[in-house]
Amino acid sequence: MRANTWAGRNKVEVRDVPDPKILNKRDAIVRITSTAICGSDLHLVDGYVPTMQDGDIMGHEFMGEVIEVGPGVDPGRLRVGDRVVVPFPIACGACAACAAELYSCCENSNPNTGIAEKMFGHPTAGIFGYSHLTGGFAGGQAQYARVPFADIGPLKIESDLTDEQVLFLSDILPTGYMGAEMCDIQSSDVVAVWGAGPVGQFAMDSARVLGAAKVIAIDKEPYRLRMAEQAGHIPVNFDEVDVRSRLLELTGGRGPDKCIDAVGLEATHGSAHIAAYDRIKQAVRSETERPHALRQAIMSCRSGGVVSVIGVYGGLLDKFPAGAWMNRSLTLRTGQCHVQRYMKPLLRRIERGELDPTRIITHTLPLDEAERGFDMFKNKQDDCEKVVLKP
């Protein structure tokens, strides 16, 4: 089959690779009809997430048709011929974390627990196409994928919704929604979202759906800010204004009630010398993160507010504003998304027209052009917001 693979830092390559096979009795094989390039894939390509190996199949946002199931898959849950969206965390459905619906913390799905424990203290769940730190599972930017614990994860799509309407239930729509949900939004709340990429756009939409009075989009790319503004959100360009000062103006001097970091470890900053400080430290591996968005969110949030972190962080960062966090009674909430918890409720919101995931798609390419898609997305060429790949 054809698959998009990691080929070293700053390089991906579509190659011929062996077809996946059933390895465990609860596996399924899915013929992929749509997959996507995620912002967190760029952290792998840029070399900031360790344990990637040449030839690893990329991608964790995918859907398709079940063509084979293992003998242990419950036929009441999944059958050959089912059209499914596959969540990016691999979860067993039986451990304490899964029982608490903390699916991205599954205790049984990551075979490389020793590596993860050294990095994080405890292992995370297995994740498709996201390094050997999270299990080394082949990803979904391919023609076919093996799906472990297939009777727990995949969501059957039994309506005539298009792939484009439901594909992002695999990751970025639930991730954005969880970011907003963790804010405990009240009807009077002003919510500020750092990052107007795909996850940030969905966090903004979710904050609106959950009842926020005002949603503010913070980014520097004009096309991303236009997209947010067209969806009814207030744009703030951090290359043009001081973010904290502008947020104080928009909130009567109090700061946003709730702040969402949808950027993560490769943030940029409007001040050249501040941006250079973290970029140099990251380049020489004195830290793994550039946490500008997280710092700004903590310093900008009103006292007693909530900072929700859904942008990916992978290791260690410098100058975390612990004093502001502790002394101003801020609540910090975070986590890789527990996708399985949100898939069905968000599918119903899509069916009711409350959310339109297709609004962020700017480019659709064949799988064989994945390298071009990564280049456009990483370098923000041609106003590229989201790339969908068709195997």
Contact call for residues 295 and 321 (beta carbons, < 8 A): yes
Domain count, the chain: 2
- Does 345 lie in the same domain as 299? no
- Does 138 lie in the same domain as 214? no
- Does 325 lie in the same domain as 349? no
Q: Which domain-ending residue is among 319, 334, 349?
A: 334
- Dihedral of CA 274/278/283/284: which sign? positive
pLDDT at 286 over 80: no
Residues 249 and 190: their CA atoms lie apart, in Å, by 12
- Does 303 lie in the same domain as 181? yes
The average pLDDT across 125-137 equals 96
Q: Mean pLDDT for the chain?
A: 95
Range of the domain at 381: 2-171+337-390
The average pLDDT across 57-76 equals 97
pLDDT at 63 over 80: yes
pLDDT of residue 280: 80
For residue 366, report the phi and psi dihedrals to the nearest 5 degrees.
Answer: -70, 155
- Does 223 lie in the same domain as 209? yes
Helix (H) or strand (E) holding 175: helix 172-181
Contacts of 114 (CB under 8 A, 6+ apart): none
Residues 217 and 24: their CA atoms lie apart, in Å, by 44
pLDDT of residue 130: 95
pLDDT at 196 over 90: yes
The average pLDDT across 154-181 equals 98
pLDDT of residue 74: 93
- Does 84 lie in the same domain as 182? no
Q: What is the pLDDT of residues 227-282, one digit of tens each?
A: 999 999 999 999 999 999 999 999 999 999 999 999 987 888 877 777 787 888 87
Instruction: Rounding to the nearest 10 degrees, give the CA dihedral for residues 161, 142, 146, 12.
Output: -130
Contact call for residues 45 and 9 (beta carbons, < 8 A): yes
Residues 266 and 323: their CA atoms lie apart, in Å, by 23
**In this predicted model, which residue has the larger pLDDT, 94 or 267?**
94
pLDDT of residue 330: 98
pLDDT at 217 over 80: yes
pLDDT of residue 126: 97
Residues 213 and 384: their CA atoms lie apart, in Å, by 29
Confidence of residue 289 (pLDDT cuts 50, 70, 90): confident
pLDDT of residue 351: 97
- Dihedral of CA 14/201/338/331: which sign? positive
Q: Which domain-ending residue is among 334, 358, 378?
A: 334
- Does 368 lie in the same domain as 235? no
- Does 227 lie in the same domain as 152? no
Which has the closest alpha carbon to 238: 185, 205, 184, 200? 200
pLDDT of residue 283: 78
The average pLDDT across 61-90 equals 97
- Does 28 lie in the same domain as 167? yes
- Does 159 lie in the same domain as 10? yes
Percent of the chain with pLDDT over 70: 100
Q: Which domain-ending residue is among 334, 355, 381?
A: 334
Please provide the distance, in angstroms rounded to a whole number, between the alpha carbons at the two ends of the chain. Answer: 10
Secondary structure letter of residue 307 according to DSSP: E
Confidence of residue 171 (pLDDT cuts 50, 70, 90): very high
pLDDT of residue 311: 95
- Does 265 lie in the same domain as 139? no
Contact call for residues 57 and 125 (beta carbons, < 8 A): no
Which has the closest alpha carbon to 189: 304, 293, 294, 292? 304
**What's 38's domain CATH number?**
3.90.180.10
Letter for the amino acid at 6?
A: W
Q: What is the pLDDT of residues 6-19, one digit of tens each?
A: 999 999 999 999 99
**In this predicted model, which residue has the larger pLDDT, 41 or 314?**
41
Confidence of residue 315 (pLDDT cuts 50, 70, 90): confident
Secondary structure letter of residue 57 according to DSSP: B
pLDDT of residue 285: 74
Triad 139, 141, 147: Cα angle to 5°? 40
- Does 159 lie in the same domain as 14? yes
pLDDT at 317 over 90: no
pLDDT of residue 28: 98
**What's 247's domain CATH number?**
3.40.50.720
Hey, what are 101's tokens? Answer: 């619906």
Lowest model confidence (mean pLDDT) among 19-23, 46-50, 79-83, 333-337: 46-50
The average pLDDT across 39-65 equals 93
